Amino acid sequence: MLKSGLLRLSESPTAKRIITRAPLSRSFAQRFVAGDTLREALDAARALNEAGLSVSLDFLGESVATRDEAEEAARMAIEILEAITREGLNANLSIKPTQLGLDIDEAFCRANIERVLSRAAELGSAPGEIFVRLDMESSAYTERTVALVEGLWADGFTNVGTVLQSMLRRTPEDVARLTALGSRIRLVKGAYQEPDTVAFPDKADTDRVYVESMKTLLEAGTYPALATHDEQIIDAARRFTWERGISKDSFEFQMLYGVRRDLQTRLQEEGYNVRVYVPFGDSWYPYLMRRLAERPANVVFMAGSVMREARSDGAALGKPALAIGAGFLAGLAAAVAWRRRR
């Protein structure tokens, strides 16, 4: 019920106003979003690179309503690619199809994506182009996104892949479909509210499909991205690759900016490739709410994460960190109370 409520709040303009205006809520959000500007995101990416971590940059936004907005999103995507090359960063790009106009016109969206992919290919250096990931949105877009990747590959754009969600019942078929293509896949659990006819209602089934799909992808050798903070699944991946003699260089773990930085560092020190998903921009509210909804315990976990890291940096930071976490939780509580009154 809490997950469902969080997802509904992510789509509510009123809840957005309450939470974003709550004292220090924005400060809390900035713990998990690199900033409003590309410059801030690039600085965050450089710091992560210096720590041995690669990056996927994502300019937040989705479901644009006009062609001008979609074209501006494509322009920003190209600006990010050019900045990655100019500053010599170990980074790729994540974009959402609806941000580039999928809801407006599919051919128009594809033309925008092709502009981005063409520029990524031009800017890339050996061994190939800068990789671009089409983020997966709700199940209403799954078939269109998978088909979009297939069509792009058929036309020679092999520097693109997408994301599959283990919560969806169709995912094993999509894994086979995109693996046959040779496309790189980011595997996630999923963060959208879906009907039981489309998605598994039980977490155990989502986890089971994740592990099964993960093993298929690891054996296929298409450099999958295992996007999870679930240590049981991470341990399962480590055991499976060790037992099968699968190289650590043939896949990567992916984690979110600001979440489990201790685990990111530990895996990197053990010789695994680790990529951090770095979102930026002022459209942080729906992104953060979906991250909380993925596992409602994240509401407390994220607040605790801020405070734990503050304590490790010195007792003087403890009170500000506590205030940041408390401010966000207060905003969330107000939004939940508003929702219940409706």
Residue with tokens 């500000």: 320
Q: Is residue 17 part of an annotated ligand binding site?
A: no
| Cα 200 from Cα 16, distance rounded (Å) | 28
- In order of 173, 250, 314, the CA distances from 273 in angstroms are 27, 9, 30
Q: Per the annotation, does 177 bind a ligand?
A: no
User: Residue 222 annotated as binding?
Assistant: no
Is 291 flagged in the annotation as binding? yes
Q: Annotation-wise, does 165 bind a ligand?
A: yes
CA distance 121 to 20: 38
Residue 191 labelled as part of a binding site: yes
Q: Is 136 annotated as a binding residue?
A: yes
> Tokens standing for 183?
């496309």
In 222-290 the beta strands, taken as DSSP E runs, fall at 225-227, 252-256, 273-280
Task: Name residue 307's amino acid.
Answer: M
E strands along 117-165, which residues? 132-134, 160-165
99 is in an annotated binding site: no
At residue 62, what are phi and psi to the nearest 5 degrees?
Answer: -165, 165
What is the DSSP secondary-structure string of 150-183? HHHHHTT--SEEEEEETTBTTHHHHHHHHHHHT-
Is 83 part of any known ligand binding site? Answer: no
3-class DSSP state of 102: coil
Helix (H) or strand (E) holding 63: none
Q: For residue 172, how many other CB atoms are within 10 A of its CB? A: 15
For residue 188, what are its two tokens?
């996630």
Q: What angle do CA 32, 198, 143 make, to 5 degrees?
A: 80
Report the catalytic residues: 135, 186
Strands 225-227 and 252-256 turn out to be parallel
Taking the CA atoms of residue 251, residue 257, residue 263 and residue 269 in that order, the dihedral angle to the nearest 10 degrees is 60
What SS3 class is residue 20?
Answer: helix
Query: Is 319 annotated as belonging to a binding site?
Result: no
Determine if residue 5 is labeled as part of a ligand binding site.
no
**Do residues 54 and 273 touch, judged by C-beta distance below 8 A?**
yes
Which residue is it, tokens 């800017």? 123
Residues making up the annotated binding site are: 96, 136, 165, 189-191, 203, 228-229, 290-291
Residues making up the annotated binding site for FAD are: 136, 165, 189-191, 203, 228-229
